[in-house]
Amino acid sequence: YVEELTFKSQIPKDESGDENDKANTDMRHSKVKEYKIWKKNTPFLYDLVITHALEWPSLTVEWLPDREEPPGKDYSVQKMILGTHTSENEPNYLMLAQVQLPLEDAETDARQYDDDRGDVGGFGCANGKVQIIQQINHDGEVNRARYMPQNPFIIATKTISAEVYVFDYSKHPSKPPLDGACNPDLRLRGHSTEGYGLSWSQFKQGHLLSGSDDAQICLWDINATPKNKAVEAMQIFKDSEKFAMLFGIDMLSHTGVHEGVVEDVAWHLRHEYLFGSVGDDQYLLIWDLRTPSANKPIQSVIAHQSEGIRIVHPGFLANHVLGAFLLTLVNCLAFNPFNEWVVATGSTDKTVKLFDLRKISTALHTFDCHKEEVFQVGWNPKNETILASCCLGRRLMVWDLSRIDEEQTPEDAEDGPPELLFIHGGHTSKISDFSWNPCEDWVVASVAEDNILQIWQMAENIYHDEDDLPPDDANKGS
């Protein structure tokens, strides 16, 4: 792995490898131009930027909850979870990284910028450091990795196989065995294919939800007695009647689980028996484990749908949308950690939507500034109204719900709606995942297909109330 604290070698090479392809060349030049503009403006838009070039792209990132302040140092130390997505025949790893984040009172020049070298300031950026401190052998790429809230040493991973792995990283060496063997502490079984959805319960230790491409949701209790390190699902949510449906039946009320890929699952953060799921059938489903018919959702809504006619085709499951409208899929969801009624979803229709569980039939609000499909949404853990979302278009947007419907000048409106607080434009490829720091306000880690891990914090004058700031200090980032 290579540590990068400058921005010199992070412009991606032409992924097609065909230098004669004018379209690809023009696209690359456009990315380079955008990147240089972002780089020059970075000192004025951020209080912190740390960029680290990973050896391989990571599809996943999550901060661990612990934070230390070494005596006599001007930085704090935190850890984060990463993974690898390597090329063929190269080993893959679940990884832990250690990050040094400068303390706010560290004496550094927060606006220093050297155009020739491309160095970017930001408070304490020169002291920022990322180090991979542990690699654990993993079968195939790590689609997603999440730690268990009650014991952060326990990490679950979504794999390229049907199994979900569970690792206790305190029981594994910092350097992986040379034989390359993957030895998870538990193998969770129940799925038939891979996927991405993964969520630990905040209330019940060891209860883990997973959604996959097999149209199933699995629930495990990892405290169950394993058999040869394997644990079977304690409950599988699947539609046993889907194959009996007749062509032409387009149910407007969803009565089973998803009819297609389950893209994401999430436990509710205030009610221990509730969870949500979204999938390629366009639905947001809400589940309650206390209900007698727990295999059926208690609420359902077509969360995202292209305008047009819903079509059912022979040989496909009822309710499956085809033709030009097949591509509208719901990729992600996140429950608000403060407001028990609010959930956000993101979709291939390039929008993020808010829903109120008390009246789920109609979206509360739609955020429609993304130019490509939305892959991930996540709430700020310390601020009820702050939501972030990332898309295929290399942008991570931060929204402030409290600013919805605020009056704008025509000049401000050109930059986007009032609720669009900030646009992070530091990546040159698709952003795969991001994570809000649970210990440091407004600090975000994001990873992209360009091998880059970025740790950043927007400038304080951007998110503070404009009434407390001079007029010129309240401009949006871009």
- Higher pLDDT residue, 342 or 4? 342
End-to-end CA separation in angstroms for the chain: 30
Residue 351: CB partners within 8 Å, gap ≥ 6? Answer: 304, 366, 367, 368, 370, 374
Average pLDDT over residues 121-150: 84
pLDDT tens for each residue of 379-438? 999 999 999 999 998 999 999 999 999 999 998 898 899 999 999 999 999 999 999 999
Looking at residue 382, its pLDDT comes to 97
For residues 415 and 16, the model is more confident at 415
pLDDT of residue 451: 96
Per-residue pLDDT for 16 more than 80? no
Q: Structure tokens of 310?
A: 């819903």
Q: Which two tokens stand for residue 270?
A: 């205030």
Please tell me the least confidently modeled range out of 47-56, 302-311, 344-353, 394-403: 302-311
- Count of other CB atoms within 10 angstroms of residue 251: 13
Count of residues making up the chain: 478
What the block records as the tokens of 304 is: 């995202």
Question: Can you give the pLDDT at residue 27?
Answer: 73
What letters, b where the CB count within 10 A reaches 16 and e where it falls short, cover 348-379? bbbbbbbbebeebeebbbebebbeebbbbbbb
Asked if residues 373 and 306 have their Cβ atoms less than 8 Å apart, the reply is no
Q: What whole-number distance in Å separates Cα of residue 354 and Cα of residue 345? A: 7
List the structure tokens of 478.
């871009």
**CA 4 and chain centroid, separation:** 23
pTM, to two decimals: 0.86
pLDDT above 60 (res 248)? no
Strand partners, 446: 434, 454
CB neighbour list of residue 384: distance below 8 Å, 6 or more residues apart: 336, 337, 338, 339, 401
Cα within 13 Å of Cα(396), Cβ side: 28
Summarised one tens digit per residue, pLDDT across range 298-313 is 999 999 987 543 433 3
Backbone angles phi, psi at 211, to 5 degrees: -120, 145
Angstrom distances, CA of residue 149 to CA of 145, 200, 328, 435: 13, 7, 33, 15
CA 6 to chain centroid, in Å, comes to 25
Residue 92 has pLDDT above 60, yes or no: yes
The single residue listed with the structure tokens 């002291």 is 127
